[in-house]
Amino acid sequence: MFLAVVAVLGIGAYTGSIPVTAKQIADAAGVMLLAIVVVFFAWLLTSGNWTPEERKRIYVIGVFFLAAALFWSVFEQAGSSLNLFADRNTRNVVLGFNYPSSWFQSMNSLFLIVFAPIFAWLWIRMAKAGQEPSTPAKFSFGLILVGAGFAILIWAARMAEQGVQVSPMWLTLTYLLHTWGELSLSPVGLSAMTKLAPVRIGGLMMGVWFLATSVGNFIAGRISGFYESLALPMLFGAVGFFAIAAGLLLFVFVKPIKRLMGEVH
| pLDDT tens, residue order, the chain (265 aa) | 555 655 665 665 556 666 666 667 667 777 888 888 888 888 888 877 888 888 888 899 999 999 999 999 999 988 889 999 999 999 988 877 888 888 899 999 999 999 999 999 999 999 899 898 999 999 999 999 999 999 999 999 999 988 889 999 999 999 999 999 999 998 888 888 888 888 888 788 888 888 898 899 888 888 888 888 888 999 999 999 999 999 999 999 999 999 988 777 6
Q: How far apart are CA 163 and CA 167, in angstroms?
A: 13
pLDDT at 200: 81
pLDDT at 16: 60
Q: How far apart are CA 132 and CA 178, in angstroms?
A: 21
Q: Are residues 40 and 56 located together in one domain of the fold? A: no
Element (H, E) at 177: helix 168-196
Single out the residue of 63, 127, 41, 50 nearest to residue 256, CA to CA: 63
pLDDT at 210: 87
Q: Quote the number of domains for the chain.
A: 2
Q: Are residues 100 and 206 located together in one domain of the fold? A: yes
Domain interval for residue 194: 50-261
Q: Are residues 109 and 18 located together in one domain of the fold? A: no
pLDDT at 9: 56
φ and ψ at residue 93, rounded to 5 degrees:
-140, 130
pLDDT at 139: 95
Element (H, E) at 110: helix 107-128
Q: Are residues 76 and 14 located together in one domain of the fold? A: no
**Cβ-based burial of 6 (10 A; exposed 0-12, middle 13-18, buried ≥19):** exposed
**CATH number of the CATH domain containing 57:** 1.20.1250.20
Q: Are residues 119 and 146 located together in one domain of the fold? A: yes
Q: Are residues 41 and 166 located together in one domain of the fold? A: no
Element (H, E) at 93: strand 93-94
Q: How far apart are CA 263 and CA 85, in angstroms?
A: 45
Q: Are residues 151 and 248 located together in one domain of the fold? A: yes
The alpha carbon of 63 is separated from its chain's Cα centroid by a whole number of angstroms, namely: 14
Q: Are residues 62 and 161 located together in one domain of the fold? A: yes
Q: Are residues 74 and 166 located together in one domain of the fold? A: yes
Q: Are residues 157 and 35 located together in one domain of the fold? A: no
Q: How far apart are CA 193 and CA 223, in angstroms?
A: 27
Q: Are residues 137 and 14 located together in one domain of the fold? A: no
